[in-house]
């Protein structure tokens, strides 16, 4: 047994793995409510997975053997129609959960949008833990409920908002999600391309681009290097977003 692990071994059952102790989004993940001993139980079954930008993570319809928690980076969730049309059903950021389903198949395909680090939990062992750690199941239910509420907002956006309202809502959504992770809400970083945004909002890349240009022209936002967007007039954007 190598010296580097001595401390860990000395505290079996009470200390969590170093990587988790250092995890910057633990308080927002599925792990949030767990104490050190429970964390240890959970980490007995998990594995870290690192992927580069563009790598596939899950494929719609394939066996849902794992649940993932995004640790670093961003992920795009999507579904395809038979003729190739694509709908992006969501973007995931650190702390978000991926692959939760009650069926035995993934509901969506997903790909790394940037380089990502994921915590991967095999599903059966994870579900077995529910019996010993009810907090874990409680947490998953809360996260699923939140996702459901977000999905309903997205349905309103897709079904009843104009292109301008959609793009404004999108920028504000990303801003709020940054704030939820205790990051500044401005500038907003856009790790995804215009095509991803378009497929998420039910628009075309051209319309997204034109709308962003319009916001830029009217002084609501300004574009910064590396896909960052500064919100110059948040109140006006909020106004835009609601109609």
Partner DNA sequence: CGGTTACTTGATGCATATCAAAGAGGGTGG
Partner DNA sequence: CCACCCTCTTTGATATGCATCAAGTAACCG
**Rounded to an integer, what distance in angstroms lies between the CA atom of residue 56 and that of residue 112?**
6
Q: How far is the CB of 77 from DNA (least distance, A)?
A: 18
Among 193, 232, 234, 236, binds DNA (CB under 7 A): 193
Stretch that binds DNA, among 88-96, 109-117, 150-158, 204-212 (CB under 7 A): 204-212
Residue 203 touching DNA (CB under 7 A)? yes
Burial of 141 per CB tally in 10 Å (0-12, 13-18, 19+): exposed
Q: Where along the sequence are the contacts to a copy of itself (CB under 8 A)?
A: 77, 79, 81-83, 85-87, 89, 100-103, 107-108, 130-131, 134, 137-138, 140-149, 151-156, 158-161, 199-202, 242-243
By CB under 7 A, what part of segment 216-235 binds DNA?
223, 225-227
**Rounded to an integer, what distance in angstroms lies between the CA atom of residue 49 and that of residue 32?**
20
| Apex 229 CA angle, 222 and 237, nearest 5 | 75
**Rounded to an integer, what distance in angstroms lies between the CA atom of residue 209 and that of residue 234?**
19
Q: How far is the CB of 37 from a copy of itself (least distance, A)?
A: 19
**C-alpha radius of gyration, the chain, whole number:** 20
Residue 84 touching DNA (CB under 7 A)? no
Residue 52 touching DNA (CB under 7 A)? no
Task: Tell me the site size for DNA, rule CB under 7 A.
Answer: 21
Residue 164 touching DNA (CB under 7 A)? yes
Burial of 160 per CB tally in 10 Å (0-12, 13-18, 19+): exposed
Which of 133, 237 has the CB closer to DNA?
237
By CB under 7 A, what part of segment 115-134 binds DNA?
none
Which of 82, 102 has the CB closer to DNA?
82
**Rounded to an integer, what distance in angstroms lies between the CA atom of residue 243 and that of residue 239?**
7
225 contact, one of a copy of itself, DNA, none, CB 5-8 Å limit per kind: DNA
- For the packed helices 134-160 and 163-180, what is the interaxial angle rounded to 10 degrees? 160
Give the helix, strand, coil percentages of the chain, each rounded to 5. 45, 20, 35
Q: How far is the CB of 15 from a copy of itself (least distance, A)?
A: 28
> Measured in whole angstroms, how far is the alpha carbon of residue 208 from the centre of its chain?
21
- Do 76 and 110 form a contact (C-beta atoms < 8 A)? yes
Stretch that binds DNA, among 10-18, 44-52, 139-147, 190-198 (CB under 7 A): 190-198
Q: How far is the CB of 239 from DNA (least distance, A)?
A: 16
Binding-site ranges for DNA (CB under 7 A)? 162-164, 193-195, 202-210, 212-213, 223, 225-227
């Amino acid at each position: 047994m190598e010296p580097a692990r001595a401390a860990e071994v000395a505290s079996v059952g009470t200390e969590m793995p170093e990587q988790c102790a250092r995890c910057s989004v633990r308080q927002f993940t599925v792990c949030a409510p767990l104490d050190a001993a429970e964390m240890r139980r959970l980490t007995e079954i998990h594995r870290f997975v690192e992927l580069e930008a563009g790598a596939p993570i899950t494929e719609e319809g394939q066996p849902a053997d794992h649940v993932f928690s995004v640790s670093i980076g961003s992920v795009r969730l999507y579904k395809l129609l038979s003729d190739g049309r694509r709908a992006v059903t969501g973007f995931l950021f650190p702390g978000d959960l991926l692959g939760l389903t009650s069926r035995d198949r993934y509901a969506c395909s997903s790909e790394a949008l940037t380089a990502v680090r994921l915590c991967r939990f095999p599903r059966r062992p994870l579900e077995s833990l529910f019996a010993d750690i009810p907090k874990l199941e409680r947490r998953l239910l809360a996260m699923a409920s939140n996702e459901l509420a977000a999905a309903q907002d997205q349905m309103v956006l897709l079904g009843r908002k104009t292109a301008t309202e959609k793009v404004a809502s999108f920028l504000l959504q990303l801003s709020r999600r940054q704030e939820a992770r205790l990051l500044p809400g401005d500038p907003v970083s856009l790790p995804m391309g215009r095509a991803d945004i378009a497929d998420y909002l039910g628009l075309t890349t051209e319309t997204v681009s034109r709308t962003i240009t319009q916001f830029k022209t009217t002084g609501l936002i300004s574009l910064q290097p590396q896909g960052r967007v500064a919100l110059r007039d948040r109140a006006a954007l909020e106004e835009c977003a609601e109609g």
